[in-house]
Structure 1
Amino acid sequence: MTDNNKHLVRVGHEFAAAMSDDTPIITIAKMVTELASALDVQTARSDALAAKLNDVCAENAAINKFIKDDCWIWDDKSEEYFDAADCMPEPPATDAWVNEQRATGATQVETNLRACYEEFPESSRDIVDECIQIAASTAAQLRGNQV
């Protein structure tokens, strides 16, 4: 569960726990506002992810159709089949999604190295610094579609 979802669940539980006959209405209103704001954020995130998923599904459907129907094309002039791989549809949404997953992994490596930096021997910290920079650079390149 993401941190945002954990926060949303926590706020919901706090809201439920705070509900009693002597809870000031202003406290309840603030909690409802915070919960509604968190729900709005998660809804927007969910909608964005659903749109990306739809794009990826459409691309994959086009690729599957290509493989099934168009992979080999009959050439009337030469009276033979040729491989139509050069005509295969481009999958930019799929590539972007895969790159984001890779970038998330690189960012997690960077975060983990930073979190335990002090645990490394001082003699190794230059190497750890370089690894942190490589992970950060890799994530930035992937997010910029530069692989």
Structure 2
Amino acid sequence: MNEAKNNKELVAAGHEFARLMSSDTPIIDMAKMVTQLAERLDCTTVALREKTKQCDTLAADNVARADIIGRLVWQYSASGIGPVKNSLNPASALLHDALEVLRHPATVAAVNELKAQGVEIAATTYHPLVVTGGSDDPQENGLCIREDLLSFARKLRTGEAI
């Protein structure tokens, strides 16, 4: 088997090999295919982990920038400056541009994803014996609150919650 196959070619070869495999297929050929697929999966998994870390870092940076821009927008708006596209007043033009940056869908999605992750952490670490009303059964209250938190996390991801 060719060592220089890309992922797509290797996956296709694996599917074809599985389709053609029979009880007459030598075990060594099966082992070679499984080894190649496992090695490529290991490499892909490592690369995916690294990209995920990079995306998480970039998303966190973006959230921090969005927070700063949001505070800048609030300060300018509170001082009576209005957003005006291509204004001769630099503060009005900057306020307009800042508001546009805050509305970028990728930024909104990244912020919502991080919020949803935080809500999920709260839900999974929630101690069900903490009762905040509802039923007299603490376990039931804990499960209801946990489900509400998980539902809220799903709504954040879809953009239904703010």
TM value normalised by structure 2: 0.44
More strand by share: 1
Q: Taking CA–CA contacts closer than 8 Å with sequence separation of 6 or more, which of the two structures ends up with the larger relative contact order?
A: 1
TM value normalised by structure 1: 0.47
